[in-house]
Chains A and B, each alone.
Chain A
Amino acid sequence: EPEVTQTPSHQVTQMGQEVILRCVPISNHLYFYWYRQILGQKVEFLVSFYNNEISEKSEIFDDQFSVERPDGSNFTLKIRSTKLEDSAMYFCASKRGPDTDTQYFGPGTRLTVL
């Protein structure tokens, strides 16, 4: 069964460093998302991406964040200058069509900023 994959599973970085979190969505999916979950808190929407552009972003998704689909398979989240409060589990998700289609989530990348 196709699945969303994410690498790395755990990333440790120093404050101020850039990190890139990678995701491979399911191959025939057209809508892509990033969410994050700070330890002990709920899952929060960061950004949605469709047709090679951001379709919606949350207040969390400021200028330090960017997303890219550099080729036909990868979907990346970049944090330019990490802060301590960026420490969280980051989930990638994808779905085939609009509205009622199911979003499939990857296993997540745990980002620890020291």
Chain B
Amino acid sequence: AQSVTQLGSHVSVSEGALVLLRCNYSSSVPPYLFWYVQYPNQGLQLLLKYTSAATLVKGINGFEAEFKKSETSFHLTKPSAHMSDAAEYFCAVTPSGNTGKLIFGQGTTLQVKP
């Protein structure tokens, strides 16, 4: 069965520092991969998605992620953290050709310190 592992339930960075949130997936075939962000008391918002086109995917708010098949990874990065980036981030996978359900990782809470 497909699964997603996010390393680190909490990540803390200083404002202006690099953000790196890790995601690894298990899949026998390349799946579709997503990063969602959840701000307090809000629903999930799509940051970016990988759908087997370019391996480096750019998303909203300056985030990007790189699909690395050899490492089964899809880490999320942002060169310079902003206070408004503080939120919970979820990596998710959907197997191709199915109903489109999303399988989520455990989530990573990003704290940005001034």
Residues of A within 8 A of B (CB): 4, 31, 33, 35, 41-45, 48, 50, 55-56, 91, 93, 95, 98-108
The one of A33, A45, A100, A101 that contacts B103, using a Cβ cutoff of 8 Å: A45
- Bin the interface of chain B by size: 20 to 34
Find out whether the CB atom of A31 lies under 8 angstroms from the CB atom of B43.
Answer: no
Give the distance to chain B from A9, nearest Cβ to Cβ, in Å: 9
Determine chain A's interface SS by DSSP, over half rule: strand
With A43-B90, A44-B104, A100-B49 in contact, do A56 and B43 touch (Cβ < 8 Å)?
no
The answer to whether A107 and B96 have CB atoms under 8 Å apart is: no
Interface residues, chain B, with chain A CB atoms under 8 Å away: 32, 34, 36, 41-46, 49, 51, 90, 92, 94, 96-107
B98 and A107 within 8 A (CB): no
Tell whether A56 pairs with B96 under 8 Å between CB atoms, given A42-B106, A91-B43, A105-B45. no
**A50 CA to B103 CA, complexed, in Å:** 18
Question: Once bound together, how far apart are the Cα atoms of A45 and B100, in whole Å?
Answer: 10
Q: Which of A31, A42, A48, A95 has a CB less than 8 Å from the CB of B104?
A: A42
Is A33 a contact partner of B105 (Cβ separation < 8 A)?
no
- Give the distance in Å from the alpha carbon of A104 to the alpha carbon of B36 in the complex: 10
